[in-house]
Chains A and B, each alone.
Chain A
């Protein structure tokens, strides 16, 4: 299985720029996607194929990367962005990162 590694938690202030990283144990090309999960809710898709913004998602969210290193950027961060963010690869059997919990100070 392809293992995806994310930092466990981040805390930032509203208006700041935040980057959330995801490292794959092997190259997944650009077959990487990002999800947001707010407490008690189902996940929602933010970014697909590394850098494509899902319809309806604010342009404050962006994604980049290829191969093994990927980044989700939120700029500027808003209070409503408090959530856990997951990366997921579809190069082979789908796997998810362990999630990065984002706290807005």
Chain B
């Protein structure tokens, strides 16, 4: 059974940093691209970043370029999202997803609140 379990969220002040992790199991992690998708409270879904199966290619939405870094450790089957210079508009539930044509598996999500 595919499982994606996010961790590392919480309350953070504007301008500070936070790192999210996503532990994957139930599939060969190193064979799949992975992504982060977020959802602000009561809002819709918004793609954040994607990383290729081997980590050689990364892609970001414009609003997070230069502030967020997606990475992975295939030996640990873990996906990461390093978030720097956080803004109030980054407040959202962040979902870890597997990429296979579509986002075919999703974690339960982790809440990130950016507030003073």
Interface residues of A (CB under 8 A from B): 31, 33, 35, 37, 42-45, 48-49, 54, 86, 88, 90, 93-99
Extra contacts, 4 of them, besides A42-B106, A90-B101, A96-B44 (Cβ < 8 A), are: A42-B108, A45-B104, A49-B101, A94-B47
Our pick among B61, B95, B102, B107 for the contact of A90 (Cβ within 8 Å) is B102
Task: Report the separation of the CA atoms of residues A54 and B102 in the bound assembly, to the nearest whole angstrom.
Answer: 10
CB proximity to A under 8 Å, residues B91-116: 95, 101-109
Which of B50, B101, B103, B107 has the most chain A CB atoms closer than 10 A to its own CB?
A: B103
- When the two chains form their complex, are residues B106 and A93 in contact, meaning their CB atoms are under 8 A apart? no
Chain B, 40-56, contact with A by CB distance < 8 Å: what is the 0/1 string?
00001111001000000
Does B27 touch A at the CB level, under 8 Å? no
Q: Quick one: closest B residue to A55, CB to CB?
A: B104
A96: shortest Cβ distance to chain B, in Å? 4
User: What residues on B are CB-neighbors of A88 within 8 Å?
Assistant: 45, 102-103
- When the two chains form their complex, are residues B103 and A33 in contact, meaning their CB atoms are under 8 A apart? yes
Which of A86, A90, A98 has the most chain B CB atoms closer than 10 A to its own CB?
A: A90
- When the two chains form their complex, are residues B102 and A99 in contact, meaning their CB atoms are under 8 A apart? no
- When the two chains form their complex, are residues A45 and B45 in contact, meaning their CB atoms are under 8 A apart? no
User: What residues on B are CB-neighbors of A99 within 8 Å?
Assistant: 44-45
Task: Report the separation of the CA atoms of residues A44 and B106 in the bound assembly, to the nearest whole angstrom.
Answer: 7
A13: shortest Cβ distance to chain B, in Å? 26
